[in-house]
Structure 1
Amino acid sequence: MSWFSIVPEPFVFVETWVVRFFLFLGILSIGPWVLVIVYDAILYLFRTATYEVPYIGGRARHRPRPRVPSLSERPSGYPRRFSLTISGVPTPAETIDTVGGLQKRGEKSGHERNGSATE
């Protein structure tokens, strides 16, 4: 290790432990991701293989493959209706009534600024 070391000979053990510490940190941070990727690959292969197996897989039971949700029709087959109006939004008359109700409530509260808009 003397050819690749950057520290003097008495401190080689420190360099060795620093290298081990950083390798441990690398395994600690990359290890879980590697396990997740390996698990995902095994699960994909298992599901792909069992799709073809009789009495287990979907093709053996004559089931159709899952379909991507459609934006134009509902799962029941009826077409979707797109609209820019939102149900539950008050009409303009109800909005004015609400504003009037808020003004009346402010007058009842006894604040000194109640009449400032009319003055």
Structure 2
Amino acid sequence: MSWFSILPEPLVFVETWVVRFFLFLGILSIGPWVLLIVYDAILYVFRTATYEVPYIGGRARHRPRPRVPSLSERPSGYPRRFSLTISGVPTPAEAIDTVGGLQKRGEKSGHERNGSATE
């Protein structure tokens, strides 16, 4: 290690512990994702393999073969629509109409709070 160190010989242990610390941080951040991917792969292989087993798997029960989820098609068969707009949010003109409609609805009702709040 002394050939590749930028620190003097008595401080090489500091560099060693810094390397170990950053390796630990890397494993801490990447490890859960690797475990999830491995779990997903094992689960998929298990489900695909048990499909073929008689009396247990889906073939014996006349079920369709398990498929990987699709990003372009919903489970119902309809295509997915990707959009950057938010549906259900009124435009400014529609929002003004809504406020006006609420005011008219308040005037029609027989509540005592129809006037301003300063009364």
The TM tier, using the shorter chain, reads 0.5 to 0.7
CA deviation digits over 1:59-83, x for unaligned, max 9?
1222344799999999999999999
Identity of aligned residues (%): 96
Could you list the runs of 5+ residues in structure 2 that have no partner in the other structure?
Answer: none
How many residues align? The count is: 119
1:66/1:108 Cα in 2 relative to 1: closer, same or farther (>3 Å)? same
Could you list the runs of 5+ residues in structure 1 that have no partner in the other structure?
Answer: none
Which 4+ residue blocks in structure 1 deviate beyond 4 angstroms? 65-119
Which shows bigger deviation, 106-115 or 52-61?
Answer: 106-115
Instruction: Decide whether the 8 Å contact of 2:47 with 2:66 is kept in 1.
Output: no
Report the Cα distance in structure 2 between the residues aligned to 1:72 and 1:36, rounded to whole angstroms: 23
CA deviation digits over 1:12-46, x for unaligned, max 9?
01001100100100000000001000000100000
1:19/1:96 Cα in 2 relative to 1: closer, same or farther (>3 Å)? closer
Instruction: Name which one, 1 or 2, has greater alpha-carbon Rg.
Output: 1
Across the aligned residues of Structure 1 and Structure 2, the Cα RMSD in angstroms comes to 8.2
Report the Cα distance in structure 2 between the residues aligned to 1:40 and 1:25, rounded to whole angstroms: 24
Tell me which of the two structures has the higher relative contact order, counting C-alpha pairs closer than 8 angstroms and 6 or more residues apart.
Answer: 2
Q: TM-score, normalised by structure 2?
A: 0.57
